[in-house]
Chains A and B, each alone.
Chain A
Amino acid sequence: MKEEIIISGRNLPYIDPVLNIWHWQIPLYLFVGGMAAALIFFSAYFYIRGRGDELKTSVQIAPILAPFVIVIGLIALLLDLRHPAYFWQLYTTIRLDSPMSWGAWTLGVIMPLSVIWPLTYLKEIKEYFSNSGKKVKGLIQWVENMVNSIKYLRLTIEWFTKYRYQMAWVNAVLAIILGVYTGILLSAFNARPLWNTSILGPLFLVSGLSTGAAVIMWMSRSTKERMIFSRIDLLLIAVEIFFIVHLFMGFLASGAVQIEAAQLFLGGEYTAIFWAGVVMVGLVIPAILETMELYGYHIPISIPALLILIGGLLFRFIMVEAGQVTRYLY
């Protein structure tokens, strides 16, 4: 038998013995980024389809969460930077080769748009929260007063309200870029075999859309809208499971390092947490619950929604951590 021992004299912090430079910030950002992309996409898509009055929550109400989750993501990203005082360097150049540059610019544009969209629906949001606590109502009132008292802000919002249709198209495209970007960010690294597959972009997009759909159906007060999003979510879960199977089939049919990467999930150290936590709890169980709901059983919508969110978050944590374990040996 041939044995091999490699001893390296290198012991760099965060790099040896196993690469560990991205911690909780990146997976958290990938999660909220994907969710924001979904909230913005669904609102834009159903607005373009002219179903804004029918699907009130997704078009008018839920997008109010988008700027908040994007801010959480931006804070996480800033905390991840080791040279944070220089973050503005991202906006001094456009680098088409670098997914991170794409992401930075997309976030830079989508952030203000995500604030403006709910501002054009202030009246409807006020109505939705009319039974909520004093603090929420006070906050909405404060925002409304501010918009009304600052002339240019009011005119801007009026202008965007007028051109909402065009804005919806821009939002839909940017949301898709943002959603795909969360996966492409990882797949662009050829040095980490687990990430280096082009299916990761679509997989993260679909996973993000399903977390967004979960949030919308959780927030919705109309049975019809809940049913529609429950169905959308079911479809997304089916596609996601297909992509996951596809991911591992691709790895097993690939080179040595990628077969090794797949083994981490097929008997290796991430097997249990991935198949039980992500696939069972995050995909299969919510899919079963949603199917039961469609057949008339009453299931509190918060259960499948929460499971999908947990599964989505866990999926990103596992992918980011496991990806850094995989490498080329020479």
Chain B
Amino acid sequence: MRRERLVPNVVRWIVIALLIIGGLAMIFPLVWLVSTSLRPAPELLLVPPRLLPEHWTLDNYAKAFASAPLLLYLWNSFVFALVSTVFILLTSTVAGYIFAKFRFPGNNVLFMLVLATAIVPFEIYMVPLFLQVNALKLVNTQIGLFLPFLVLSYGIFFMRQNTMTSVPDELLDAARIDGMSETGIMLRFVPRLLAPAIAALAILAFIQAWTAFIWPLLILNKPALFPMELGLSQFANTRVDFGLTSAGAVVAMLPTLIAFLFLRRRIVEGITLTGLRG
């Protein structure tokens, strides 16, 4: 009896050890990036390279900040992601609620249209979209950058499903009897019942805009408007100094990692909740 329990325990610890080694290998590139950014120039060319710098330095950061407006890029990304998230939350919650709770002619047709576009990747229609934005003379402007990120087909679908499952008709009727206006119900009452879904969608929307790359690349060539991803890639494309590019990369990663430290559970929940749509 005792031996039977002992053997699986040994196996269990071996498996855990292997999983931890694999996990450390997973974060190695991130650690390496940070370590490279803290190396003085001569140590960058060391063969074989060492895991940690011998002489720690912040010179690379000073040089990186001096040669590219990294903080401006971060700010641009933040504004972009924030505007996109607010719009997507508003349009998705409202449209999702209407599709879920109101019967009107065309409800099904319109919703099917939304659903159908949810499977069309952005890359498919980016050329015509560029022409539209060009026709509006919005190339190289912030509004042109924001435009495609104001609605999210999947967001409307997601909020409709959540409204159907977590907003009972009885509660809506009760609110109506209490004399709440339709607008009040839609913008104040319903969102409170949908808080977890809204949080998940907010995380999805924010990450989507924060990591956007090809649209900013198409629409912007004024560095002052660049979000971080585009700014960093242009910054690194013209440079081969690893210390410098690593410092830039760490600056770009830092906000995400800090956000994750504080919102770990919410982010993982959000990703699984919006991911498991199949």
Q: Tell me if chain B binds chain A.
A: no
Residues of chain B at the chain A interface (Cβ within 8 Å): none
Residues of chain A at the chain B interface (Cβ within 8 Å): none
